[in-house]
Amino acid sequence: MNEIEFAAKHEREWSALARTLDPPKGEVPSPADVDEVPRRFRRLAGQLAIARDRQYRTSLIDRLHALAMSAHFAVHGARAQGRPGTVAALWHFFVSDFPAEARRQWRFLAAAALAFFGPFLGGIVALQFFPDFVYYLVSPDTLARIQSMYAPDNVRLGAARDADSDVMMFGFYILNNVRIDLQCLAGGAFFGLGTLAALVGNGMFLGAISGYLTQIGYGHTFWGFVAGHSAPELLGLVLAGASGLMIGYALVAPGRQTRVAALRTRGRSAATLLYGAALMTTGAAVIEAFWSSRVTLPFEVKIAAGAVVALVVVTFLALGGRRGP
């Protein structure tokens, strides 16, 4: 189906939805049309995704996007009555819009996951057989500093173990997490190559550190420390990387659009992934500062809690934002 056929097939429904949402002066929509708005909105969301995927004209995509936004506020704004608008909108974004958009952009998400987790897991395995390989990836001074962070006799674990309070630790972790996420996004401006470099580089570094600490016998303290917050932090990093790859793809392959138009189209989705990634890494920083650093918690408890967090995060991304028929 070409663009003209696509528009002709759905024009009547689009016009009916627009007329219901913004009726002419003096006209009141019928109850049947009002009841039909949520269903038309869901179908419109799918049609908008198809138009973007097929790279139809910017004018058509912008029209559908504007209509979808109007329907979105009509449907979810009504549901959020009685609650503070900003809080309700933020909540709906995180539990619905963000995971749904992440699934729609699964190709970029898969590419980012491969670029990060490939070197990460490869480094862990390689260091168990070739421990000296770590010195090709990490300087001796850095290794010594990291080794001291996870020594079994530490009173507090982690990079911010010398902080005066958990709040200061949280500030350190959130700044570090956001810095890495922004690096992944900004790398998209270099046709995606900067994003790939950030993902692969972080994967190699973290894999080398994880493999090294495991190989020297610090796995108990290290894996106990990272278990609780690793799922939201690492998946947040991958989501930020996916947003950067989307920006790079818009520059490399804009299709029939200009690069500016392609950036505008992809940029909305990339921003959604980045905002969601920022919320996830903020949550990871909370866990890292107030839970992970505790040496008094048993290793088994930390691992079990980490497994629960990972299950919740994966389930949230897989099912969040799905609506019944």
pLDDT, tens digit, 9 for 90 and up, residues 209-231 = 999 999 988 888 899 989 999 99
Residue ranges per structural domain of the chain = 3-79, 104-319
Average pLDDT of the chain is 85
Long-range CB pairs of 208-212 (<8 Å, 24+ gap) are 208/123, 208/127, 208/133, 208/134, 208/137, 208/138, 209/138, 209/146, 210/120, 210/123, 210/124, 211/123, 211/124, 211/125, 211/126, 211/127, 211/128, 211/134, 212/127, 212/131, 212/134, 212/138, 212/143, 212/146
CA count, 13 A, side-chain hemisphere, 41: 19
Regarding predicted confidence, which is higher, 76 or 176? 176
Q: Is the pLDDT of residue 165 over 70?
A: no
Cross-strand pairs, 156: 294
What is the band of 82 on the pLDDT scale with cuts at 50, 70, 90?
A: very low
Instruction: Kindly report the backbone phi and psi dihedral angles of residue 267, in degrees, each rounded to the nearest multiple of 5, phi listed first.
Output: -60, -35
What is the band of 155 on the pLDDT scale with cuts at 50, 70, 90?
A: low
For 271-294, what is the mean pLDDT?
88
Q: What is the pLDDT of residue 264?
A: 84
Most confident of 13-22, 68-77, 152-161, 229-238: 229-238
Q: Is the pLDDT of residue 154 over 80?
A: no
What is the band of 81 on the pLDDT scale with cuts at 50, 70, 90?
A: very low
Q: What is the pLDDT of residue 323?
A: 64
For 133-146, what is the mean pLDDT?
89
Segments of the chain assigned E as strands: none
Taking the C-alpha atoms of residue 241 and residue 196, their distance in angstroms, rounded to an integer, is 8
Taking the C-alpha atoms of residue 59 and residue 111, their distance in angstroms, rounded to an integer, is 30
Q: Which two tokens stand for residue 38?
A: 């949520």
**Cβ neighbours around 27 below 10 Å, total:** 8
The torsion angle over the Cα atoms of residues 255, 256, 258 and 264, rounded to 10 degrees, is -70
Q: What is the pLDDT of residue 80?
A: 46
Q: Is the pLDDT of residue 125 over 60?
A: yes
Range from 74-83, 148-157, 241-250 carrying the lowest mean pLDDT:
74-83
